[in-house]
Structure 1
Amino acid sequence: MLVFWKQRLVFLAVPKTGTSAYEATLGPHAAMTIYDPPELKHAPVYRYNRFFRPMMEKMGAEDMELLAVIREPISWLGSWYRYRQRGFLEGKPTSTRGISFDAFCDAYATGDRPPYANVGSQAKFIEPRPNGVSVSHLYKYENQIGLLGFLEDRLQMKIDLPRENVSPRRDLELSAQTEAKLRRKCAEDFEVWERAL
């Protein structure tokens, strides 16, 4: 999470949407950068609302706007799948080694997800709160030009992004049956992505 106090902007770090590159580039320009623990770095709207918003409002920032990036859901799951193939997870319940991408997505679309497929939901991450706190600026990961343009305008600076935290390439074949199941069971994630800029 990056907080730009003067610009009244909070950049939420939705996992697997390229936020590590933005943190590397914009961190030195932010008033506050949350790197650890992951539960705070990747604070969703509900956690921001509960912990960060009250603190900021006490300091006089009642008008902070939230920015988030979301990724096409199958591509997002592909990034999680590849990330969980890494050696440091081998032998752990969250590892996807020995599991096909199709099996991973099928498990993700079940009600009781096994640990390797329990990666959350982008729609839940950005879900508005009953008190009105919500994401003001929602960009598609695939629209980096639009996102960069917004940030350069808002922060009044030129941004040159490095590639950070890139997962290894893997086969991401998905059967028509599994894709249909995903689109049915995770419809909210697809709807939210469609609405983003």
Structure 2
Amino acid sequence: MLAVPKTGTSAYAKALADRAGLIVQDPPELKHAPVYRYNRFFRPMLEKVGADHMDMMAVVREPVSWLGSWYRYRQRPFLDGKPGSTKSVTFDEFVRAYCMDQRPAFANVGSQAKFVEPRPNGTKVSHLFQYEDQPKILGFLEDRLQTKITLPQVNVSPSMPLELTGATRDLLAQTCPDEFTIWRSAKGAL
């Protein structure tokens, strides 16, 4: 299971820790290893111990909701005064900044589409789920692992209203169409 940021994977890692053969918690660059990093570092290691042809799963979130989670996360006090803080911008300004070619630090949060992008050697996500369909994710994992899973509340961003104009929503759809395409394509099995 790849840990796409802001998709609830920390809760799944905690819930499944006693059943997992390997959990990467730090550094964040490895915890949140996208397909290309998995392909470069983890796949060769796993193949050397006989775990080749592994299924890979990931969860992606509706793009506006995903950006909202990032925005709320970056409102936390530990980022106050730092370039990554969103305290001095509205959500609408944050999304507009995300749509820029050169994103400012506070809006530089990556891309779900790039995170799950297949590699030329065929390494790809075999089970891609929408974050909003938690029963389907849970059902898949419970069936696959033959166990009941109870998800804890982990790393939850503070709740707050998020206002986005129609023009900004349109700008996001026009400048980041891959984000919407990958989310719409997420049905569990690819």
**Fold agreement, TM-score > 0.5:** yes
* 1:54 and 2:44 aligned: yes
| 1:103 alignment partner in structure 2 | 93
AA at the equivalent of 1:34: V
User: Does the CA contact (< 8 Å) of 1:13 and 1:42 recur in 2?
Assistant: yes
Deviation at 1:163, TM superposition (A): 1.3
Using structure 1 for the length normalisation, give the TM-score.
0.94
Matches of residues 157-168 of structure 1 in structure 2 within 5 Å? 157-168=147-158
| 1:83 alignment partner in structure 2 | 73
Deviation at 1:171, TM superposition (A): 2.2
Q: Note the residue ranges of structure 2 that are not aligned, 5 or more in a row.
A: none
AA at the equivalent of 1:68: A
Using structure 2 for the length normalisation, give the TM-score.
0.97
* 1:68 and 2:58 aligned: yes
AA at the equivalent of 2:141: L
AA at the equivalent of 2:90: S
Q: Which of the pair is proportionally richer in strand?
A: 1
| 1:127 alignment partner in structure 2 | 117
| 1:22 alignment partner in structure 2 | 12
User: Does the CA contact (< 8 Å) of 1:101 and 1:171 recur in 2?
Assistant: no
1:32 and 1:165 mapped to 2: Cα distance? 20
Pairwise CA RMSD:
0.6
The alignment-based identity, stated in percent, is 63
Segment of structure 1 superposing worse, 131-140 or 161-170: 161-170
Deviation at 1:62, TM superposition (A): 1.3
User: Does the CA contact (< 8 Å) of 1:12 and 1:42 recur in 2?
Assistant: yes
**Matched position secondary structure for 2:113:** helix
Q: Note the residue ranges of structure 1 that are not aligned, 5 or more in a row.
A: 1-10
**Matched position secondary structure for 1:135:** coil
Q: Which has the higher contact order (CA 8 A, sep 6+)?
A: 2
